[in-house]
Amino acid sequence: MTRETLFYLGPEGTFTHQAAMEAADQLTRAGVADDGFTLRALDDVPAIMRAVEHGEGWGVVAWENNVEGYVVPNLDALIDARDVAGFARVRVDVAFDAFTRHGDDPLAARADGGDVEDAAATGTTTIPVSAHPHGLAQCKRFIAAHGLTPTPASSNAAACRDLEPGGVALGPHICGELYGLDTLAAHVQDFEGAHTDFLVLGSRDAVRALNAHARASHGEFETILTLIPLVTGPGVLADVLDVLRDAGLNMTSFISRPIKGTDGTYSFIATLDAAPWEPRFRAVLKEIAEHGDWLKTLAVYPRRERPNPPVETWRLPDGGMRFDASPGAAKADDGDAPAADWDERHDVRRELLW
C-alpha cells in the first residue's frame, strides 16, 4: 500500500481537520497505508465527494453530532453519491471558543454604549458572530446572552480565518493560534461532553477491499443502510422492520429523509450492528431486494464500543406522559396516577390531545 491523500473540509483548524488527523493516525496504525497520509483541505463537501469518486483519494465528512443530530446535507450527499461509501468512523470532542481580532473587544465597546437589551432593540451596535450552522446551534446561550447576530459560515475555521474587525467567531481552540486571534471566552458551547462522529469515505470498490482487510482484525461491524419502499401504504415500513427484527439485527438508529421534490416519499436510513457479509444480513438484503424495494449500503466499519445507559427522568423533555415501571401506575408530567384514573387527568388528556 502507498501513501494516500485524505481530503477534509477546510481550512486548517476545522473539527473535520482534527477528525482527518485522527483517522490518519488510526488507519496508519491499522496498516491501511504503509507510508501514511497526505491531508488536503477542500472548500466544501461536494468537492470532497467528487475527489473520492474520481479516485483522487479518500475523504472525511461530519456525520452525526450528539447535540444536533445527523449532519443532514452530508447524509443526503452520501445517499446521492454514485460511487462513495464509508469504511471507518472516528469521533472528535467538540468544544467552542469565542474569538475576536487581535486587540479587538466588540463586547466591551458596546457595553460603553448600553446593555445588551438596549443594543438589540435599537440595532445600533449589532455584533455578528460567525460559525458553521451546527456551531451556531451549539452555542445559542452564549449568543443570546451577548445579543450577537448569528452569521453562518462554510466552516468554523473559515469563520475564524475570515473574521472581520468588530465581529466574533466561534471555533476550535486551535484556531486562535492558527489565525492570530484573541480568545474572548473559552468553552462557550451549551453542552459539555458534545462530540461529532465523522465517516471516512472511499470509492465502493476501495471500501470492499478495505473491509476485506479489516475483517482479519475486527470481529464486529456496523452498517448504515438506506432503503426506499417503492410501494407505499399502511404497514409497508413495518413489514421492512419486521424483516430486520426477525433476522435478529440490532438497529441503533433509524431516520427518514424526503426524496427531494416529491411529496410523501422518503428514504429510510438504518444503522445496524452487523456486516453485509454475515449470512443473516445477506438474507435480509436478498429479501428486501426481491420484494422490489431500492436499497443501498452507505457505510460498513468496525463496530465501536458505546455506552447504552437508561434515560434518566430528568433528561425527558417537558410535558408528555409515560407509564411508570411499577404495575398499576401512570406518570404524567407532574406525578403518578393509578392506571384506572389516568384517562381522567387533565394533564394526560392535554398531552395526548383529546
Q: What is the pLDDT of residues 43-101, one digit of tens each?
A: 999 999 999 999 999 999 999 998 889 999 999 999 999 999 999 999 999 999 999 99
User: What domains are there in the chain, each with its CATH number?
Assistant: 1-94+193-217 (3.40.190.10), 97-174 (3.40.190.10), 220-308 (3.30.70.260), 317-352 (no CATH)
Q: What is the pLDDT of residue 270?
A: 96
Cβ density class 216-238: b for 16+ within 10 Å, e for less: eeeeebbbbbbbbbeeeeeeebe
The answer to whether the CB of 100 falls within 8 A of the CB of 168 is yes
Question: How long is the chain?
Answer: 354
* Sequence letter at residue 254: F
* Sequence letter at residue 248: G
C-alpha cell belonging to residue 98: 469565542
- Cα separation of 175 and 154, whole Å? 15
The answer to whether the CB of 268 falls within 8 A of the CB of 237 is yes
Q: Cα(first)–Cα(last) distance of the chain, in Å?
A: 64
Residue 35 has pLDDT above 50, yes or no: yes
Residue 296 has pLDDT above 80, yes or no: yes
Task: Mean pLDDT check: name the lowest of 22-26, 39-43, 87-91, 259-263.
Answer: 259-263
Read off the pLDDT band of 105 (50, 70, 90). confident
Q: What is the pLDDT of residue 117?
A: 45
Mean pLDDT of the chain: 86
pLDDT top residue among 117 and 101: 101
Nearest to 269 by CA among 118, 107, 33, 70: 70
Burial class (CB in 10 A: 0-12, 13-18, 19+), 174: middle
Query: For 313-344, what is each residue's pLDDT tens digit?
Result: 666 777 777 766 555 444 544 455 555 566 67
Mean pLDDT value across residues 22-36:
87
- Residues 6 or more apart whose Cβ sits within 8 Å of residue 195: 65, 66, 91, 92, 93, 94
* Sequence letter at residue 350: R
Q: What is the pLDDT of residue 95?
A: 94
- Cα separation of 7 and 5, whole Å? 6
Query: For 210-249, what is each residue's pLDDT tens digit?
Result: 998 888 777 799 999 999 988 878 888 899 899 999 999 9
Q: What is the pLDDT of residue 123?
A: 46
In degrees and rounded to multiples of 5, residue 282 shows phi and psi of: -60, -40
